[in-house]
Amino acid sequence: MSLTKRDAAWLMTKKGFLDMLPLNLAVLPWGILCGSLAIQRDFSVLEALLMPLVVFAGSAQLVAIELMANNASLATVLFTTLVISSRHFLYGLALRDKLKVLPTSWRYSLGFLLTDELFALSGNSKAFVGKLRLIYALVAGGSFYLFWLLWNVTGIVAGSYLPDLTQLGLDFAIAVTFIALVVPTVTNFPMLITVFVAALLSVLFKLLHFELDLVAAAIIAMYCGYLTDRWQCRNQLAKHGLSTKKALNDINKGGGKS
């Protein structure tokens, strides 16, 4: 029995929501932390609400809240959040060829919703290709946005009536979320090297009190992954070249004997 377009769209809507649901629930502590921190740093309720509504970036929200609470300059806030969110530039480059053919409304909508979580669900080579897969991406990203708002609102309410929630260790949810996103993507040796180097250097730089610890660890890890990939490619080409040469020699020897 063939599905109608409406039934197919509903199935993709349901699948997008259910696939993102574990991540929607996983960021509950993170969202509560962002909302409560804003209130506890003397942000108004409106200002605290505008952070998830407009910024929609957990790590950037946390850092921006702390910097603004400490009266940092606008240039410092903008530069710091730019560095933290620079990975989204790479996400955009990775999906550029697929999204550039879409109408403006689709590009802007998916661009705004393109978080780490949505990008993690976009590993399939056919992601964002075709109307049904676009619906899937829009529902997955949109549901994450709505849940993020919900958890932030919960944190805003909790931060107004409960003691300092920042002392409960809720920020560990950030690390747990990214671990859950990264582990399934480690499918080859260069990726494994990248993750290992990033983890090792981030801890080392933190112990050395290096201010740009995460940025430096990420850049060095990516370069190590790139070098590993190049090394693998050269080895494969070398083996392929040797095999081809050996086959030609065997053919020539066989021809000589005949």
CB atoms within 10 A of CB 227: 12
Mean pLDDT for the stretch of residues 28-36 = 86
Tokens (6 digits) for 81: 């959040």
pLDDT of residue 238: 81
- 118 pLDDT tier (thresholds 50, 70, 90): confident
For residue 249, CA distances in Å to 149, 176, 236, 237 come to 67, 55, 20, 18
Please give the Cα distance from 247 to 58 (Å, whole number): 57
Do 57 and 92 fall into the same domain?
A: yes
Are 86 and 191 in the same domain? no
- Do 27 and 126 lie in one domain? The reply is yes
- Per-residue pLDDT tens over the stretch 193-210: 998 999 899 899 888 888
Contacts of 134 (CB under 8 A, 6+ apart): 102, 106, 110, 128
User: What is the rounded distance in angstroms from the CA atom of residue 90 to the CA atom of residue 46?
Assistant: 32
Strands (DSSP E) found in the chain: none
Q: What angle do CA 5, 8, 10 make, to 5 degrees?
A: 110
- One domain, residues 128 and 220: no
pLDDT at 254 over 60: no
Provide CB contacts within 8 A for 20, sequence distance 6+: 117, 118, 121, 139, 140, 141, 143, 144
Task: Give the structural domain span for 247.
Answer: 187-258
Q: Mean of the per-residue pLDDT values for the chain?
A: 83
Q: Is the pLDDT of residue 98 over 90?
A: no
pLDDT score, position 122 = 81
What is the number of domains present in the chain?
Answer: 2
The mean pLDDT value for 85-107 works out to 86
Same domain, yes or no, for 199 and 178? Answer: no
Answer with the one of 185, 208, 241 that is the final residue of a domain.
185
Is pTM, for the whole model, over 0.75?
Answer: no
**Number of other CB atoms surrounding residue 214 within 10 Å:** 17
